[in-house]
Chain A
Amino acid sequence: MDPSEAAVSFHDVSYHLPNGRQILKQLSFEVARGEVLVLLGRSGSGKTTALKLVNRLLEHSSGEVRVEGRSNREWDVIELRRHIGYAIQEVGLFPHYSVERNIAIVPTIQNWPAERIRGRVEELIRLVGLDCAVAGRYPHQLSGGQRQRVGVARALAADPPILLMDEPFGALDPLTRADLQREFAALQKSMKKTVLFVTHDLREALLLGTRIALLDEGRLVSLDAAGEFRRSSEPLAAKYMQAFWGTSDQGRGQQ
């Protein structure tokens, strides 16, 4: 496998619903190995849809999505998904499983030996900043922030090289969200996963993203390094910056 090759890439990908409504229009971009590519856009811009095309929770209508250089249609869909960690805003922990078993789901269905699973679960619980005492608890006994930490640990369980994250911190209170964002940024520094991160929050995009892909009505309107985003000439990007910095924004030279 060529290390310089993109971990995930979209080539003229379109997606429309069975009723014909087009959600994504000829999307093309590449996600380099080890980078965090943020898909930024307002509700309905198609960012979540784009994410679900990668692990084939949705099937694209035309074009090609490649994972590790191979069309994701050539992958066995189960193998593809186990190669890619998946974390969502609602978390989706199994309510009838303890924290420990939730984290161990993928290793368990991959038949890891019990000893190795136990070690890995302990490691992950510490990695996402939880106390080992939560291992035996059930999801309904956790706070929102703890649940999302467990969700991230679960996504990382089998050490997948690619992570898909759909507004994972979106439902948390601002302080908890800031904690998790900071910790995730630190974690990512050491993990170097390839991450596709969906958000509508520019602050989060700037904090976590290596690059920011701005989507609007199913089109990619700009793709910049996070540091370049504020200087983008794209009007929508400017609008985001304006909303972020407040209307009294001065000296940025464009509307």
Chain B
Amino acid sequence: MNLWNFLVQNRLDMAQLALEHLWMVGISTLIAVAIGIPLGILISWRPVLRNPVIAAANVIQTIPSLALFGFLLPAPWIGERAGRLAILALTLYALLPLIRNTYAGIEGVDRAVVEAARGMGLTDWQLLLKVELPLASSVILAGIRVAIVISVGLATIAAAIGAGGLGELIFRGLAMVNNSVILAGAIPAALMALAADVLLGWLERRLAPQRA
């Protein structure tokens, strides 16, 4: 059975798996953004926290994904559903690029601009919302882009704990020693990563600050 026939015959199945995949990536990215960006801001305000926070995110990044899924299995509530488990694991992996880029983006804002803003009497919040975040937005978006591309790839492994997604075809294909089935999972996943990369890259360029 060739790849094309497989795709046509299983199109409903395929759509379902692709949706599951998107769902896992989407939700985990949203949660990671909601945690990672505030953490990045926090460590730019409290430099003593910088090393511990970045080190923790780094350590998480070094745990092999299969092992991380295994570690999280006994967790209450989370461990009950494979989907939740996969989302938590993907969230954890997405944190590092988000924290690091938020921090780097804020630190990268021209010191003179920050000093002028403080000197004019902007409060810390006004400085953050009117100056630092807008000027860091393209760097933060670059972090989101990296996080999504990593997540799309990692989410294929979530199938190993039964969370579904396009990885299921890859594992099925591996078990059947059928390259067409593997490709039916791998190609759409790769296309998804590429599409996210192109789309966010375009947004990033639009948000890039004017040359000073």
- A residues within 8 Å of B by Cβ? 55, 57, 78-82, 86, 88, 90-96, 105-106, 109, 138-140, 151, 154-155, 164
Contacts and interface: CB of A to CB of B under 8 A. Distances in A.
Interface string B87-130: 00000000000000000000000101111111111110010001
A75 to B, nearest CB: 11
A139 B120 CA distance: 18
A109 B126 CA distance: 9
A86 B120 contact: yes
Interface stretch (B18-26, B56-64, B184-192, B204-212): B204-212
Interface of B: 110, 112-123, 126, 130-131, 134-135, 209-212
A86 B135 contact: no
Contacts of A155: 120
B115 A78 contact: no
Contacts of B122: 78, 105, 109
Nearest to A105: B120
**Chain B contact residues: over half helix, strand or loop, or mixed?**
helix
B113 A94 contact: yes
B112 A140 contact: no
Nearest to B131: A94
B211 A96 contact: no
B210 A91 contact: no
B197 to A, nearest CB: 25
Contacts of A86: 116, 119-120
Q: Which of B115, B119, B122 has the most CB of A within 10 A?
A: B119
A164 B121 CA distance: 13
A88 B110 contact: no
Contacts of A109: 121-122, 126
Contacts of B117: 92, 94, 105
A155 B112 CA distance: 14
Contact of A81 (B110, B119, B131, B212): B119
A88 B119 contact: yes
A219 to B, nearest CB: 25
B211 to A, nearest CB: 5
B212 A57 contact: no
Given A95-B210, A139-B212, A88 B112 contact: yes
A92 B116 contact: yes
B209 A96 contact: yes
Contacts of A55: 119
A93 B121 contact: no
